[in-house]
Amino acid sequence: MKLSNALTSGALVVQAATAAAAAAATTSGDLTILSMNVAGLPAILNPNDVAGGKKAAAKTIGSKFAEYGYDVIHVQEDFNYHAHLYSTDTHPFRTPTSGGVPFGSGLNTLSTLPWLSGSFLRQKWDKSSCASEFDCLTPKGFTFMRIALSPSSSSSPSSDASDAPDGKESEVYVDFYNLHTDAGTQPLDLKARNDNLRQITEWINHKSKGNAVLVYGDVNSRYSRAGDTGIRSLLASENPTGPAGLTDVWIEIHRNSILPSDATVCGNPAETATCEIVDKVLYRSSPLVKLQPTAFEYAAPKFLSAEGGVLSDHNPVLVNLTWSAGQKLRQSGFWGGASYGTWFNDATILDETPEPVKAKKITFRGGSRLDAVSLTISHSDGKGTTELVHGGRGGTESSLVLGEGEHWVKSELCQGKKGDKTRNFYIQATTSKGRTLEAGTRTSDCKVFVSEEGWQVVGFLGESGDEVDLLGFIYGKI
């Protein structure tokens, strides 16, 4: 652990790098998402009356995915015809199959955008019902991934994070969930499905705290079905662990934000989006990124065979959104290893802190690796300070108290392997006056993060346990 003063020239270098970062920052954009149950159960179990057979239907669906080029496509029931579906698609980022019936969940994602390396997870439902349908034949559940919306993001599902260049601007991430709940309307089906939605709500509250979220897939639920209480618990505080704070895009755009007590059931292909289907798209914004849906449609007319027949027994759901980075808070990219620590995000605390947020003291703990990070912030209203602390109690502690007009503007992280898991081994903070604070042990696998002009480090987000596994920085205005 070292604390040092640099010459004035060091501060000038930091200021120049910060100015260059500001010129390249991408802070808004458009996003098009699609949810489609591709009816990939073996034909002997569910023929769907698709003309030409299911192999041909899967190939046609894949070719249309390639033709339309939607940004993030979630598919369900992608079981025994997966290879045919992917054979005609051209999306650069695609999840590998988990297998056909009875081994796989049927959940896959095809994307033009990369997701954070190591963030993709498959989770099986705690409960399922054998009362009807084929739910006991497959390990249904949901998937999770943290997708980078900003074009500069370099965290790829097909490469290690060490391939990424230095981060010289803020990044924008959204947590994506793909789900397929228990089917059927028997009492045990309803009980299992409501528990499925309880489970994903708890996961969102834990894994996506402080993050923008998009949840979509085959929910097998209707608001107009009395027994489907789970879908409402995603939108209200019926869940004892707290609501996920989600909004249904269909309800917002086509129902004037009013949950229906009854709704016409759609045909296939649906002629209007005023009727209800079991495929849903839900979202929420965060202090770090705002999501705003601009269009919602049932896209079955875009997915017809050459003869004009449907390719699946479900209407695909197509949604357009705009996104924009936060006005008060933004974030950097990440460094380290994902998916085995406990997620933390200071954005919700910082969002409630009066502007401007002022970082007063930086504290690190480190030895062989990075054990903990801490930042003390003062409140502009003069009502005390808040200490943001993440990690364990190991290593040696050292601190840097920031002077008047001094801000944390540049960071370096180095990662390495402990056993078979990637963790952060080293951190260095550089202030606007060129002073530095470091902890841990430097490796050869490092990345530099520079805040945009007019922004400073005011908090953290990532995953930790006894040490800091995954780390990113939250920026606030100076």
Instruction: Give yes or no for a contact between 224 and 262, defined as CB atoms under 8 angstroms apart.
Output: yes
Helix (H) or strand (E) holding 293: strand 289-298
Give per-residue pLDDT as tens, 309-333: 999 999 999 999 999 999 999 999 9
Look at residue 421 in the predicted model and tell me its pLDDT: 93
Look at residue 3 in the predicted model and tell me its pLDDT: 36
List the beta strands (DSSP E) in 100-257: 108-111, 121-124, 141-148, 173-180, 213-218, 247-248
Look at residue 158 in the predicted model and tell me its pLDDT: 35
Helix (H) or strand (E) holding 68: helix 54-68
23: pLDDT confidence band, cut at 50, 70 and 90? very low
Give per-residue pLDDT as tens, 64-76: 999 999 999 999 9
Look at residue 384 in the predicted model and tell me its pLDDT: 82
Q: What is the mean pLDDT of residues 165-175?
A: 78
Look at residue 213 in the predicted model and tell me its pLDDT: 97
224: pLDDT confidence band, cut at 50, 70 and 90? confident
Identify which has the larger pLDDT, 224 or 79: 79
Percentage of the chain exceeding pLDDT 70:
89
Q: Is the pLDDT of residue 153 over 70?
A: no
Look at residue 44 in the predicted model and tell me its pLDDT: 73
> pTM for the full model?
0.91
Instruction: Give yes or no for a contact between 397 and 391, defined as CB atoms under 8 angstroms apart.
Output: no
Walk me through the domains of the chain, giving residue ranges and CATH numbers: 28-325 (3.60.10.10), 334-477 (2.100.10.30)
Give per-residue pLDDT as tens, 179-204: 999 999 999 999 999 999 999 999 99
Look at residue 38 in the predicted model and tell me its pLDDT: 97
Instruction: Give yes or no for a contact between 101 and 80, defined as CB atoms under 8 angstroms apart.
Output: yes
Give per-residue pLDDT as tens, 343-401: 999 999 999 988 888 999 999 999 999 999 999 999 877 778 999 999 999 999 999 99
Look at residue 151 in the predicted model and tell me its pLDDT: 59
Q: Count of alpha carbons within 13 Å of 160, Cβ hemisphere only?
A: 12
The CA-atom distances, in angstroms, between 154 and each of 166, 176, 186, 410, 422 are: 9, 17, 46, 19, 17
| Most distant CA pair in the chain, distance | 75
Give per-residue pLDDT as tens, 95-151: 999 999 889 999 999 999 999 999 999 999 999 998 877 777 789 999 999 999 985
Q: For the chain, how many residues are written?
A: 478
- Apex 385 CA angle, 381 and 386, nearest 5: 120
Look at residue 159 in the predicted model and tell me its pLDDT: 34
Q: Show the tokens assigned to 334.
A: 């990440």
Look at residue 263 in the predicted model and tell me its pLDDT: 72
Q: What is the mean pLDDT of residues 456-470?
A: 97
Cα 297 from Cα 182, distance rounded (Å): 24
Mean pLDDT over all residues of the chain?
A: 88
Q: Give Cβ neighbours of residue 395 (< 8 Å, ≥ 6 apart).
A: 1, 365, 366, 367, 368, 369, 370, 371, 372, 439, 440
Q: How many helices (H) and strands (E) does the chain have?
A: 7, 26
Cα dihedral sign for 360, 470, 154, 98?
negative
Q: Is the pLDDT of residue 434 over 70?
A: yes
Strand order in the sheet with 421-431: 2-4, 436-440, 421-431, 408-418, 446-450
Identify which has the larger pLDDT, 17 or 34: 34
Q: Is the pLDDT of residue 451 over 90?
A: yes
Cis omega (within 30 of 0) for bond into 165:
no
152: pLDDT confidence band, cut at 50, 70 and 90? low
Look at residue 236 in the predicted model and tell me its pLDDT: 63
Q: Count of alpha carbons within 13 Å of 297, Cβ hemisphere only?
A: 11
Helix (H) or strand (E) holding 207: helix 187-207
Look at residue 311 in the predicted model and tell me its pLDDT: 94
Helix (H) or strand (E) holding 8: helix 8-24
